[in-house]
C-alpha cells in the first residue's frame, strides 16, 4: 500500500529556499545569497535526510554526465571558461537534488510546480521594469545581460506543463482555477513569442497546447468538447481583430521569413559538428564551444554543446536519460491508458525537442524542471501500482 511520507520542518525550509531562489534570479545581490547560501543549506538537509533519493535513476544519470564533464575538464585549455561552466553544473546538481528529494513526497508536488509559475512571474516583472521600456518593438528582442529571450520562452513552456498538471493533481475549486489559467497561457504564449522574437515558442507552444487540449477535452464528454470549441472561436476572434496587426509589425514575422540556410542557427550547427568531429572522445573541455568554433558562439543546442565540450560519451549519457524517460512513459500509457502518463510522455517529447534550440544541461531551472516531472512520474507510478 502506498503511504504518504511525513513532512518535516526541514522539508518546508528547503521548499522555501527553492521558492526564494525563484523569486530573486534577476536581482544580483539576493540571487548570490540564494545560490551560495540558501540553496546549499537546503541541499545539506536533503542530502542527509533523503539518502534513498540517490537511487533516483535521473539523478544518477545526471551525476554520471557531470562526472564525465569533470573528466573532460582535465583537457581544458581555458580554465576560466571551464571553471565558469563547472560552477553552473554544481548549481544544477544542487537544485536538481533538492527538487528530486522534495518531489518524492506527493504532498509537496503542487507547491514545487508553483515555484516555476513564480519564476516566470519574476522574469516578466524584471522584463517590464528593465527591458520593455528600452526596446524598439519590431526591431529588437526582449533581451539583456540578465534575462535571455530564449530563457523566457522556456519558462513559458515549463509553466504550460505545470499548470496543466496542477489542474489534474489538485482538488476542488483549484481544479477550475488552473484549467482557466491554462487558457490564459495561450495568450501569454502569443505575447511571449512576439516580445522575444522567439520562433521556438511557436514550434513548441502551438503543438504542445493543441495536444494537451485534445487530451483533456476532445477525448472527454460533450460538455468538454463544447468548451474547447468556444475557446478555439475566441482564439480566432482575438487573432483576427488584434493579433494579426501585432504579428505583422513584429520582429517575429521578420525572423520567420528568413530561409533556413540564411539562419544563424544553421551556421552554428554546421560549425559545431565540424569542431566536435576533431575531438570526438573527450571534447575540448567544459564551456569551450565558444572558443573552438569559428562563430565563437555557444551552439544553441544541448546535444551539440555536449558534443563539442565533452565528446560523444556526454551526448550518449544525456540521450539515454531523456529517451529512457520518454519510452517509460509510453510503455506505461500503453499498458494502463492513464492520461497522466500521456501528459508525462508529451512533456518528455517536447523537452527532447527543446534541446535543439538551447543548451539545457547547464541551466539551473531548466534541468530542475525535468527532474521534477521525472520524479513525479515515478511517484505517480508507485502510488497507482502499490
pLDDT tens-digit map of 122-181: 999 998 888 877 777 666 777 777 888 888 889 999 999 999 999 999 998 899 999 989
**pLDDT grade, residue 237 (50/70/90)?**
low
Model pLDDT, residue 89:
95
Report residue 166: phi and psi, to 5°: -60, -35
Judge contact between 356 and 301, C-beta under 8 A. yes
User: 72-114 pLDDT, tens per residue?
Assistant: 999 888 889 999 999 999 999 999 999 999 999 999 999 999 9
C-alpha cell at 129: 521594469
Q: Distances in Å between the alpha carbon of 105 and those of 50, 98, 108, 353?
A: 11, 12, 6, 29
- Indicate if the pLDDT at residue 261 is higher than 60: no
Alpha-carbon gap, residue 83 to 72, rounded angstroms: 12
Highest average pLDDT, of 52-61, 65-74, 192-201, 254-263, comes from 65-74
Q: Which of 172, 100, 49 is nearest to 379 (CA)?
A: 100
CA distance 235 to 243: 9
Residue 177 vs residue 240, higher pLDDT: 177
From CA 225, how far away is CA 219, in angstroms rounded? 8
Residues 6+ apart with CB under 8 A from 67: none
Mean pLDDT of 186-193: 84
Amino acid at each position: 500500500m502506498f503511504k504518504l511520507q511525513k513532512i518535516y520542518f526541514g522539508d518546508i525550509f528547503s521548499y522555501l529556499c527553492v521558492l526564494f531562489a525563484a523569486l530573486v534570479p534577476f536581482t544580483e545581490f539576493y540571487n548570490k545569497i540564494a545560490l551560495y547560501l540558501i540553496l546549499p543549506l537546503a541541499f545539506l538537509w536533503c542530502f542527509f535526510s533523503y539518502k534513498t533519493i540517490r537511487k533516483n535513476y535521473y539523478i544518477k544519470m545526471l551525476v554520471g554526465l557531470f562526472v564525465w564533464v569533470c573528466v573532460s575538464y582535465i583537457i581544458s585549455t581555458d580554465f576560466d571558461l571551464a571553471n565558469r561552466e563547472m560552477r553552473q553544473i554544481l548549481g544544477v546538481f544542487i537544485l536538481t537534488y533538492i527538487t528530486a528529494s522534495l518531489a518524492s513526497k506527493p504532498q509537496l508536488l503542487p507547491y514545487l510546480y508553483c515555484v516555476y509559475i513564480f519564476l516566470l512571474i519574476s522574469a516578466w516583472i524584471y522584463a517590464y521594469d528593465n527591458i520593455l521600456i528600452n526596446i524598439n518593438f519590431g526591431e529588437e528582442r526582449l533581451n539583456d545581460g540578465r534575462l535571455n529571450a530564449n530563457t523566457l520562452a522556456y519558462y513559458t513552456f515549463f509553466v504550460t506543463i505545470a499548470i496543466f498538471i496542477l489542474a489534474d493533481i489538485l482538488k476542488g475549486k483549484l481544479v477550475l482555477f488552473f484549467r482557466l489559467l491554462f487558457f490564459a497561457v495561450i495568450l501569454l504564449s502569443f505575447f511571449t513569442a512576439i516580445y522575444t522574437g522567439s520562433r521556438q515558442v511557436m514550434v513548441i507552444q502551438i503543438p504542445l497546447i493543441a495536444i494537451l487540449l485534445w487530451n483533456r477535452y476532445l477525448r472527454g464528454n460533450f460538455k468538454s468538447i463544447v468548451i474547447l470549441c468556444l475557446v478555439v472561436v475566441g482564439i480566432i476572434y482575438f487573432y483576427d481583430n488584434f493579433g494579426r496587426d501585432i504579428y505583422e509589425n513584429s520582429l517575429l514575422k521578420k525572423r520567420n521569413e528568413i530561409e533556413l540556410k540564411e539562419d544563424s542557427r544553421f551556421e552554428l550547427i554546421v560549425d559545431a559538428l565540424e569542431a566536435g568531429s576533431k575531438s570526438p572522445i573527450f571534447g575540448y573541455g567544459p564551456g569551450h564551444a565558444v572558443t573552438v568554433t569559428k562563430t565563437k558562439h555557444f551552439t544553441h543546442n544541448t546535444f551539440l554543446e555536449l558534443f563539442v565540450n565533452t565528446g560523444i560519451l556526454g551526448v550518449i549519457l544525456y540521450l539515454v536519460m531523456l529517451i529512457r524517460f520518454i519510452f517509460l512513459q509510453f510503455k506505461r500509457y500503453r499498458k494502463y491508458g492513464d492520461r497522466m502518463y500521456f501528459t508525462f510522455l508529451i512533456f518528455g517529447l517536447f523537452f527532447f525537442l527543446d534541446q535543439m534550440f538551447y543548451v539545457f544541461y547547464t541551466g539551473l531551472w531548466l534541468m530542475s524542471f525535468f527532474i521534477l516531472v521525472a520524479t513525479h512520474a515515478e511517484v505517480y507510478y508507485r502510488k497507482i501500482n502499490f
